[in-house]
Chains A and B, each alone.
Chain A
Amino acid sequence: MDGIHDLGGMHGFGAVVTPGGDAPYHERWEPRVFALQVLIGVEGLGAGPGGRATRERMDPASYLEASYYERWLWSSERRLLRKGTIAPGEVEAMMERLAAGEPAPAPQSDPDQAARAVAWLREVVPLQPVEQARFAPGQRVRVRRMRPAGHTRCPRYARGAVGVVEHVRGADSLPDHTGPGDAPVEPVYGVAFRSDELWGRGEEPAWTVMLDLWESYLEEIT
């Protein structure tokens, strides 16, 4: 979807290098939210679109205001609610209990769950082999103009631009698929774009942007 998450090329966000920016996180709740999201996936506690597609549906003002792991917390709650693992209001009720000084529930131990999570994090799931590729390395292609309502991996800034295929990466399920049935598996191409083509002539010497794009994002140049 053409949401606020699709940031490439936007102005106005200020400096990249700021005090404290070097650490992966600053508060202990942040890695715990990271771990909870992993466990929600591993244990099948959530439902519907994954964390990433869910976060893209945050209202834009909240998305901009939230920190990274706050967005993960938000998407985790949505996925748990969709599955019915938690009911509406339950998180707020627990917040009230904790804020009132009630101790958190006693720590629980489950070495099997820990092992499942670590195994999942260590598992490698490669792309599938490409059976038939419409485009070949060296070929010029154009990114389709589109305005998808659902999840996509085709950033706005590349749409309509012409690039050159450099790699056929492998085949992968199209993330844009919303059902019914399984997502089609398509070749994914590494495509090189000249900066002039994406942004016009700028102040910097020309550079190259490399993007991995599913086949249906691309069209032949006629």
Chain B
Amino acid sequence: MSDDHGHHHPRPDSEVALRARALEALLVEKGLVATDAVDAIIELYERDVGPRNGARVVARAWADPAYRERLLADGTKAIAELGFGGAEADNLVAVANTAAVHNAVVCTLCSCYPWPVLGLPPTWYKSLPYRARMVAEPRAVLREFGLELPDEVEVRVWDSSAEIRYLVVPMRPAGTDGLTEDALAALVTRDCMIGTAVPLPPGPAA
């Protein structure tokens, strides 16, 4: 079972796992669901669609000011230029961090997340404490991730409870002049695009 919610102790794995297996078996037995369709969906998110997509978008925005403008003006169209898009990014809004503003994304009511650019969300994003706390004590949450922001930086928390999804465009770290887009993309982690981390400059530790 996942560490979905800290100190709770969910029921043993076996019962839920068995129930999940039984539901799939039942639908397969009835001829309604094909095993390879289930596999294809899983493979899509394990192989093709994940945070490396978002990192490519951010790297392009860092490298190409005109692309950055298009991305901030219409996220859905701009990610389509790189071949990305689909369910849960039908209306993608990119929000840029600056020296004055730090953006972070949560979904308090559900766990909405821009799948086409970030893949499926990490467990913590779906957890009860993240959904409860991020709108009400964002700096305390960011501190858990090791992110301390200066007091004068405005934290903007985007609660994506409607059909708009958000992608944080972090600030390009210093010391990255002349890096290729691939090298830039390697600096952009999933958490940087949710807003619970910022990219580190390239270095031995990175």
A residues near B (Cβ < 8 Å) are 5-11, 13-27, 29-36, 38-39, 43, 45, 52, 64-70, 73, 76-77, 80, 85-86, 90-92, 94-95, 97-99, 104-105, 107-111, 113-114, 116-118, 120-127, 153, 155, 157, 169-170, 172, 188, 190, 192, 198-199, 202-205, 207-214
Known: A118-B44, A153-B109. A24 touches B140 (CB 8 A): no
Contact (A211, B161) CB under 8 Å given A20-B3, A65-B8, A113-B34: yes
Report whether A24 and B37 are in contact in the complex, using a CB–CB cutoff of 8 Å.
no
Which one, B17, B115, B161, contacts A212 given CB within 8 A?
A: B161
Across the two chains, which residue of chain A brings its CB closest to B16? A70
Q: Given A43-B33, A172-B163, answer yes or no on A21-B156 (Cβ-Cβ < 8 Å).
A: no
A154 to chain B, nearest CB (A): 8
Q: Among the listed stretches B55-63, B117-125, B169-177, B198-206, which one makes contact with chain A, having 4 or more residues with CB under 8 Å of it?
A: B117-125
Of A7, A39, A188, A210, the contact of B41 (CB 8 Å cutoff):
A39
Say whether A211 contacts B8, CB under 8 Å. Answer: no
A38-B41, A188-B164 as given contacts; A16 in contact with B46, CB under 8 Å: no
Q: Are B7 and A7 in contact (CB under 8 A)?
A: no
Q: What distance in Å separates the Cβ of A179 from its nearest Cβ neighbour in chain B?
A: 20
Q: Are A34 and B124 in contact (CB under 8 A)?
A: no
Give chain B residues whose Cβ lies under 8 Å from the Cβ of A92: 22
Q: Which of A32, A97, A109, A121 is within 8 Å of B24, CB to CB?
A: A32
A14, B133: Cα distance in complex, Å: 9
Evaluate contact between A13 and B32: CB separation under 8 angstroms: no
A114 to B156, CA, bound (A): 39
Contact A110 B34 (CB under 8 A): yes
Tell whether, in the assembled complex, residue A7 and residue B128 are in contact, meaning their CB atoms are under 8 Å apart.
Answer: yes
Cross-chain contact B131 with A7 (CB below 8 angstroms): yes
Contact A124 B120 (CB under 8 A): no
* A27-B17, A68-B2, A114-B34 as given contacts; A86 in contact with B162, CB under 8 Å: no
Question: Can you report 15 A-B residue pairs in the complex whose CB atoms are below 8 A from each other?
Answer: A21-B122, A25-B123, A26-B1, A27-B1, A29-B21, A68-B123, A86-B26, A91-B22, A104-B25, A114-B37, A123-B86, A155-B109, A188-B162, A205-B152, A211-B161
